[in-house]
Structure 1
């Protein structure tokens, strides 16, 4: 049977530094059974040995009174060197005053001459090495290697140690970087780590003034516990300004949530959970850098956690239901049903109907929207096939492709596999991408869209005008359909500026030679005006709200009957 060496079998190296040969021999004899021994006759020789490339010492036994370089200078040099200061030093002396001075300079312990108790000397050496190695392990795990701040676990350990001694008001602060993933996606993880390291430096610089401690909780989120400040807006704005200059980018935005710790008897992790709820509440808002927690935010956070936890049941039990809103061509004598948009609905078994405006942004934030999108894609593809078999007509359906989907390397394959499974052509499952997705990740998105269009997919730009549109962007983006944001349609009869904007978008679509779809049409006057403008397609409650598949089938039947009557 083989015997394998373990860590405990490896002998630690001990350096004995003494100008008296007899002392070196005595100590060597006492310790050689347990340690690998090296010796030096003075401080200068010792420093040469300690700075060799292969030097790996666990302990230094150091005489203080030596020629050439004494022990005090060795301690001083070791303490000024980051690598050497980690090696514990036991001084060898018989003078009480020297013992005190060396301990204050950084020595770990002392052994009094003469050396007449070998067992005690050995035990003290073993104990000092053990303490030093334990400290080294703690040091290597307590700090986040990227930011230089505490790790999350040590942050809460230290926080629990100090909170009972704090007698002044404090705050829990959660700092987050909006759209940080873009740095990693566009420039690589090394650049992302460089940005996180810089933010860690900026936070560290301000901790003394805040009388606080900080950690990096997760990839782009930082926790700060500090003395209560009147406001944090100026602090976050200052960090934001320096970060923008450092990255030469305006796309990264800091936001912070604050929870006021009224007493220190609660659970520190719950303070930061509430601060994070406040921080998440201003995601995507540009009016303020910070906000404070209140009970409404906490209730909202609990509700969101419930939704996140229930997504699997919603998919498996089909609590998610896909509704279809019809789109009509309006340029002819009669409106003609031409296609539909797939819209997700959630009928929760306990909570009832959940507004899509509640769960869609939530799932977009944490990446779960991809699972919802896949559910919708499959349902829509299946429904196109069913209507074709039932009515002998093809009703193309538009489905949403979120910004999260864009970064899925399997996106194109998944879509093509769906078409193959349900025997569909590429132009029957149309893909809607919001304008804001273009603004967030234009290079990657243009690359993906070009590839999808080369396969035959039709691309609709959704919510045009709601984000950060520019004519320059439109010249670069490959699209097949332009959809006007519903807010312009709703206000165009009340506000001349919105009316001119709708006309402008129609003219832009004409210039690009793509059809335009007007969303949110609810009134007859809106329909008449859009028809006079030359708008191609409309959708909205004027014709129909989103419907479940069975009721949408009734619209198909009505459209088929109208066509039959007009053809006679």
Structure 2
């Protein structure tokens, strides 16, 4: 409160009769800083000039140049001015209801015969207004003035209490690539886009007698009666913001959960709308998504996968498959190493491929936990094969972009190697080329730390990104894996084969061995062998298989070696 800070509240007395102005001034005493206006236009000028500091307006209705009704009307139409409380002071007793309907908070009748009552009303009005301002400061977003997420949900639930039979839509709206606007045009321009979007969304919500709010960053929310034309709302918003940045087209994406299920929490309703909104992220041709039965079933399915992940790891439901890599430069093809590929033996959904759960776990921030599980399982299996067959077989495991920024990654992986009694050179670490683009300097530093510990580094999906040349010239690597997209047509196109030869030359220049992925037939095999490719991985030799089946390949390799010695 201002009085606790030793600050006098500022009160504007609007009164054209000097005697009444003096009486009110004397009643208020020295407790307040008093401003005076004798006509309506002067009053509006002082109100606008002191909008940030005024605590109260004492307003006469009958004024020269502009009457009190007009002042009330102007103040109520301005979001900043309508927050200033107004007490109407007049002898027109019959005007009380009209003034209160127009936004006045109290009514004092002339003549002023009860000074103590007037002082009490002024004090109470200011205190209530300041209390409301404090509440508003906590419930409204500081930039846009919209409800913040917490209070938006509360008011949405409150609205349902009063209009329980009305069908409602939960809507989530995002500004596409707001970070690019901030980067290229400055944060001030980004804030202008946010403010313009907020004003438009507030207007739409008020038109539909709904509620508007702001989530985090570039997210906005609306809770409005069911609208059968959501695309029209999308167009209104885009039309309002499209002219703000002249040389940048601003688009939004919108997710709608129509006719919400009111038996679920308000937060869950907007999670569904948000899920719909996120489903069109990055697709600039489709900017509107409706949450429907299919999306609901998919969300339930994905939630069940996320919720059962921990139990699946504890019960060994994640199964490592192994795909062999054969060295082909020699008299015979030699089983040189393998790649570990995860599968999920789910009790309800059967054997799931990585595509069903890896992107989901990456999105949920769970991928590092799964990768750690795989590293440990592979290290255990390699150690077991080493003891049972007296056979050292390196196996490559995936190291994701998230893993690369994990603290003390080299210590984490090395501890698993030590625990399973193998050496680091038996656990090859596969890093995708795309991970290099996120933070090249940190990645190079992390890779060097891993190599210093004795791990071999393989670059997966080589040639599919934009950083191939930079990467192989700056990063310490041991093996380059040519993506299968380069291999599948080499027997059909000389151009494709020339590209592969070029990459083989690049690998030779940096003393890296090369593995060709996705080799499926004899023609591809012979072209790669003749071109000098070191290793091959693909269906031509074997599909990925569980450890028990892979052991047959180990046994076959051991037999071939024994036969060669004999």
TM-score between both structures, scaled by the size of structure 1: 0.74
CA distance in 2, matches of 1:312, 1:257: 31
Aligned to 1:386: 384
Aligned to 1:318: 316
Report the alpha carbon displacement of residue 391 of structure 1 after superposing the two structures with TM: 3.4
Aligned to 1:350: 348
* Larger mean Cα displacement after TM superposition, 440-449 or 528-537: 440-449
Aligned to 2:458: 460
CA 1:351–1:92 in structure 2 vs 1: closer, same or farther (change >3 Å)?
Answer: same
Contact 1:164–1:264 (CA<8 Å) still a contact in 2?
Answer: no
Contact 1:400–1:431 (CA<8 Å) still a contact in 2?
Answer: yes
* Larger mean Cα displacement after TM superposition, 511-520 or 282-291: 282-291
Of 112, 117, 126, 2:109 maps to: 112
For residues 134-173 of structure 1, what are the structure 2 equivalents within 5 Å? 134-145=131-142, 149-156=146-153, 161=159, 173=171
Query: 1:414 aligns to what SS in structure 2?
Result: helix
Aligned to 1:418: 416
Query: 1:555 aligns to what SS in structure 2?
Result: helix
Aligned to 1:37: 31
For residues 333-482 of structure 1, what are the structure 2 equivalents within 5 Å? 333-422=331-420, 424-442=422-440, 444-468=442-466, 471=469, 474-482=472-480
Contact 1:232–1:290 (CA<8 Å) still a contact in 2?
Answer: no
Aligned to 2:523: 525
Report the alpha carbon displacement of residue 23 of structure 1 after superposing the two structures with TM: 5.0
How big is each residue's C-alpha offset from its partner over 1:125-160, in whole Å with a ceiling of 9 and x where there is no partner?
Answer: 465345424532443244334666543344455567
Contact 1:43–1:74 (CA<8 Å) still a contact in 2?
Answer: no
Aligned to 1:3: none
CA 1:539–1:215 in structure 2 vs 1: closer, same or farther (change >3 Å)?
Answer: farther
Aligned to 2:554: 556
CA 1:216–1:58 in structure 2 vs 1: closer, same or farther (change >3 Å)?
Answer: closer
CA distance in 2, matches of 1:75, 1:366: 52
Contact 2:238–2:251 (CA<8 Å) still a contact in 1?
Answer: no
Q: Which ranges of structure 1 fall in alignment gaps of 5 or more residues? A: 1-5, 29-35
Aligned to 1:546: 544
CA 1:290–1:107 in structure 2 vs 1: closer, same or farther (change >3 Å)?
Answer: closer
Report the alpha carbon displacement of residue 536 of structure 1 after superposing the two structures with TM: 0.9
Contact 1:254–1:289 (CA<8 Å) still a contact in 2?
Answer: yes
CA 1:109–1:540 in structure 2 vs 1: closer, same or farther (change >3 Å)?
Answer: same
Contact 1:214–1:222 (CA<8 Å) still a contact in 2?
Answer: yes
1:309 aligns with 2:307: yes
CA 1:7–1:39 in structure 2 vs 1: closer, same or farther (change >3 Å)?
Answer: closer
CA 1:220–1:120 in structure 2 vs 1: closer, same or farther (change >3 Å)?
Answer: same
Contact 1:147–1:198 (CA<8 Å) still a contact in 2?
Answer: no
Query: 1:128 aligns to what SS in structure 2?
Result: helix
Aligned to 2:484: 486
How big is each residue's C-alpha offset from its partner over 1:462-513, in whole Å with a ceiling of 9 and x where there is no partner?
Answer: 1224444654555455533221222443444455554444344333323443
CA 1:304–1:197 in structure 2 vs 1: closer, same or farther (change >3 Å)?
Answer: farther
How big is each residue's C-alpha offset from its partner over 1:517-563, in whole Å with a ceiling of 9 and x where there is no partner?
Answer: 11223333332332122111122233333333344344333322322
How big is each residue's C-alpha offset from its partner over 1:144-194, in whole Å with a ceiling of 9 and x where there is no partner?
Answer: 3466654334445556749999xx9997654457899x99xx99xxx9998
CA distance in 2, matches of 1:40, 1:239: 42
Aligned to 2:129: 132
Aligned to 1:327: 325
Report the alpha carbon displacement of residue 303 of structure 1 after superposing the two structures with TM: 0.6
CA distance in 2, matches of 1:528, 1:9: 88
CA distance in 2, matches of 1:386, 1:199: 59
CA distance in 2, matches of 1:470, 1:233: 40
CA distance in 1, matches of 2:188, 2:425: 42
Aligned to 1:88: 85
* Larger mean Cα displacement after TM superposition, 475-484 or 232-241: 232-241
Contact 1:15–1:40 (CA<8 Å) still a contact in 2?
Answer: yes
CA 1:472–1:103 in structure 2 vs 1: closer, same or farther (change >3 Å)?
Answer: same
* Larger mean Cα displacement after TM superposition, 505-514 or 155-164: 155-164
- Residue-pair matches, total: 545
Query: 2:512 aligns to what SS in structure 1?
Result: coil
CA 1:411–1:178 in structure 2 vs 1: closer, same or farther (change >3 Å)?
Answer: farther
* Larger mean Cα displacement after TM superposition, 530-539 or 97-106: 97-106
Aligned to 2:512: 514
Report the alpha carbon displacement of residue 413 of structure 1 after superposing the two structures with TM: 3.8
Query: 1:370 aligns to what SS in structure 2?
Result: helix
Report the alpha carbon displacement of residue 331 of structure 1 after superposing the two structures with TM: 0.9
Query: Alpha carbon RMSD of aligned pairs, Å?
Result: 5.3
CA distance in 2, matches of 1:236, 1:257: 14
CA 1:265–1:490 in structure 2 vs 1: closer, same or farther (change >3 Å)?
Answer: same
Contact 2:318–2:343 (CA<8 Å) still a contact in 1?
Answer: yes
